[in-house]
């Protein structure tokens, strides 16, 4: 038989191969990590591990730290009230000081959600390997980098050696072709994809997002898509860098400058999937099939078009029924019923998925001159101090305040039910965050995931609605 022809390389292959220090026979590879983000929740035990071994951080200049999960989003100038949260943030300050790591903590003009500040500071660049003890590290893949979440033991490994032991994942490409429908934004694309392939549909895969609909997106919008690739189980999500990417990175604080920029740019322009590269799995989606999305259940795969009915019981696979029924019971929803018109109590616009300036602009444009519905509480939480400052500069803060929305201070906020911002038991929250798991936003809180536009509609009307009815 003929020898197998050498096929082209994927974007993932090109970055992966360049970062292999060593391969272990019948085992993982030693992968070099360019940039390591840390935050207060998943790092303290890693530093304790280093201290026990009596070693220092190997490459402190390649580590960037911020405090985001545990920070309050009001009165950030005051000490953190919750003692355990405060102790965790203080431990981060101490650990960073002891190991010479740059910390953008509370009060720093660069502070914010780790996956918002990396890109906006120009730390995130094409072709890099990046990790963080946080599953939404996949966000940074939007720049054409391999970026993924790790556990605390792995955080310790990277702090100690700037390397990780990793098995190469399988490769999947999801192509979204065509023009997006009116009112459909990148959050809808990713919620649609996850609803199609399920919350475990990409487990074991690195997923490249491609196609004309993806290429037409801004960097902010691309980040939203890669951010949620973990919600279908993907090891990471990535998008080939192009002019949109280069223009975004160029001129940012930590982006390469001058001659170094030219050198890097030439390198970045080689980062694409070769025409003859082969994926383990490929999915084709027509952008026209995507409408504004909403989730009804307790995992991000349980989403539907905002005008559709929640699947009836007889449409659900027998094996999945116990989970499905438990899920709807938790949500207080009936199988077969319509999502449109469901009342909401809270609106949360924020999180590493949708708290960038473009998201805030989108919401402000929509609500300008409108008022929030009675009985609805609306929280807008910018992803970083820089987003907050930009929003103030553009007058977005005033537009939101006039509508009766509360613009809070940067942090993870109500995405995860950890800091002070929690949704009360039994209440419904339409949220631009990434997870609708039971209790995610607080014990017994109920979450509908949606785009910033669909969330804005709910803020104005007090219920789940179709944004297309409000657009000309």
Partner 1 sequence: MSVIINAEDEKKKSLTTAKFQSERKVIQSAAVPIELENIDTDQIIPARFLKATTRDGFGKNLFRDWRFENDDENKPVKDFALNNKIYSGKILVAGKNFGCGSSREHAAWAIKDYGFDAVVSSFFADIFKNNALNNFLLPVQISDEFLQKIFKAIKEDTNAEIEINLEAQYIKILATGEQEGFEINKYKKTCLLNGYDDIDYLLNIKDKIEAFEKATA
Please state, in angstroms and rounded to a whole number, the distance separating the CA atoms of residues 273 and 264. Answer: 18
By beta-carbon proximity to partner 1, the closer residue of 234 and 467 is 234
CB of 125 to partner 1, least distance (A): 15
Among 179, 260, 315, 320, binds partner 1 (CB under 8 A): 320
Token output for 349: 């616009």
Cα first-last separation, the chain:
62
By beta-carbon proximity to partner 1, the closer residue of 12 and 110 is 12
Using alpha carbons only, give the angle 41, 44, 47 rounded to the nearest 5 degrees: 145
Secondary structure of residue 253 in the 3-state scheme: coil
CB of 233 to partner 1, least distance (A): 6
- For the stretch 135-170, what's the b/e string if a residue is b when 16 or more beta carbons lie within 10 angstroms of its beta carbon? bbbbbbbbbbbbbbbbebebbbbbbbbbbbebebbe
200 binds partner 1 (CB under 8 A): yes
By beta-carbon proximity to partner 1, the closer residue of 168 and 252 is 168
Site string for partner 1, 119-138 (x = CB under 8 A): --------------xxx---
Please state, in angstroms and rounded to a whole number, the distance separating the CA atoms of residues 46 and 155. Answer: 6
From the number of C-beta atoms within 10 Å of its C-beta (0-12, 13-18, 19+), residue 356 rates as: buried
Which residues have CB under 8 Å from 236's CB, separation 6+?
137, 138, 141, 146, 147, 148, 169, 206, 207, 226, 229
- Which residue stretch of 239-247, 321-329, 372-380, 401-409 sits at the interface with partner 1 (rule: CB under 8 A)? 321-329
Closest CA to 219 of 146, 127, 116, 147: 116
Size of the site for partner 1 (CB under 8 A): 74
By beta-carbon proximity to partner 1, the closer residue of 44 and 411 is 44
309 binds partner 1 (CB under 8 A): no
53 binds partner 1 (CB under 8 A): yes
Among 187, 372, 435, 446, binds partner 1 (CB under 8 A): 435
Q: Hey, which residues between 64 and 103 contact partner 1 (CB under 8 A)?
A: 69-70, 82, 84-85, 87-88, 91
CB of 385 to partner 1, least distance (A): 23
By beta-carbon proximity to partner 1, the closer residue of 63 and 163 is 163
Site string for partner 1, 211-240 (x = CB under 8 A): -------------------xx-x-x-----
By beta-carbon proximity to partner 1, the closer residue of 199 and 339 is 199
By beta-carbon proximity to partner 1, the closer residue of 68 and 466 is 68
* Residue keyed to tokens 């998201």: 359
Contact 460, 371 (CB under 8 A): yes
CB of 466 to partner 1, least distance (A): 28
342 binds partner 1 (CB under 8 A): no
Could you list the beta-strand ranges (E) of 150-278. 163-166, 170-177, 205-210, 236-238
The H or E element spanning position 304 is: strand 303-305
Q: Hey, which residues between 13 and 52 contact partner 1 (CB under 8 A)?
A: 18, 21-22, 24, 26-28, 30, 32, 41-42, 44-45, 48-49, 51-52
Please state, in angstroms and rounded to a whole number, the distance separating the CA atoms of residues 64 and 263. Answer: 24
154 binds partner 1 (CB under 8 A): yes
């Amino acid at each position: 038989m003929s020898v197998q022809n050498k096929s082209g390389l994927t974007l993932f292959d090109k970055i992966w191969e360049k970062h292999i220090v060593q391969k272990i026979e019948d085992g993982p590879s030693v992968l070099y990590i360019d940039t390591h983000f840390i935050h207060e929740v998943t790092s303290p035990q890693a530093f304790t591990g280093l201290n026990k071994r009596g070693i220092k951080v190997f490459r402190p200049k390649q580590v960037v730290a911020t405090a985001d999960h545990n920070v309050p989003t009001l009165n950030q100038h005051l000490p953190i009230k919750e003692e355990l949260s405060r102790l965790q943030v203080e431990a981060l300050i101490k650990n960073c000081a002891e190991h010479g790591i740059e910390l953008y903590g509370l009060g720093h003009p660069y502070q914010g959600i780790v996956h918002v500040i990396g890109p906006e500071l120009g730390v995130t660049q094409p072709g890099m390997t990046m990790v963080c003890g946080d599953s939404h590290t996949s966000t940074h893949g939007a720049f054409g980098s391999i970026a993924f979440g790790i556990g605390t033991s792995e955080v310790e490994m990277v702090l100690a050696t700037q390397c990780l032991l990793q098995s190469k994942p399988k490769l999947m490409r999801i192509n979204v072709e065509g023009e997006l429908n009116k009112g459909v934004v990148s959050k809808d694309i990713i919620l649609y994809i996850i609803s199609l392939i399920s919350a475990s549909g990409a487990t074991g895969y690195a997923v490249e997002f491609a196609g004309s609909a993806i290429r037409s997106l801004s960097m902010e919008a691309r980040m939203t898509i890669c951010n949620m690739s973990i919600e279908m189980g993907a090891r990471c999500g990535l998008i080939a860098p192009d002019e949109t990417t280069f223009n975004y990175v160029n001129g940012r604080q930590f982006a390469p400058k001058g001659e170094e920029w030219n050198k890097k740019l030439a390198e970045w322009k080689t980062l694409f999937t070769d025409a003859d590269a082969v994926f383990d799995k490929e999915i084709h989606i027509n952008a026209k099939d995507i409408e504004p999305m909403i989730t009804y259940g307790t995992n991000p795969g349980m989403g539907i078009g905002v005008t559709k009915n929640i699947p009836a019981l007889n449409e659900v696979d027998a094996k999945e029924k116990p989970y499905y029924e438990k899920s709807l019971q938790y949500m207080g929803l009936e199988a077969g019923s319509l999502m449109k018109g469901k009342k909401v109590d809270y609106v949360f616009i924020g999180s590493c998925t949708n708290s960038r300036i473009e998201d805030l602009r989108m919401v402000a444009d929509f609500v300008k001159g409108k008022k929030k519905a009675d009985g609805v509480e609306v929280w807008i939480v910018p992803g970083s101090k820089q987003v907050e400052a930009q929003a103030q500069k553009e007058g977005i803060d005033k537009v939101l305040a006039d509508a009766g929305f509360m613009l809070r201070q940067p942090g993870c906020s109500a995405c995860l039910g950890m800091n002070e911002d929690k949704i009360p038991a039994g209440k419904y929250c339409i949220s631009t965050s990434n997870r609708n798991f039971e209790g995610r936003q607080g014990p017994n809180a109920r979450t509908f995931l949606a785009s910033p536009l669909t969330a804005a509609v709910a803020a104005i009307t007090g219920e789940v609605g179709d944004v297309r009815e409000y657009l000309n």
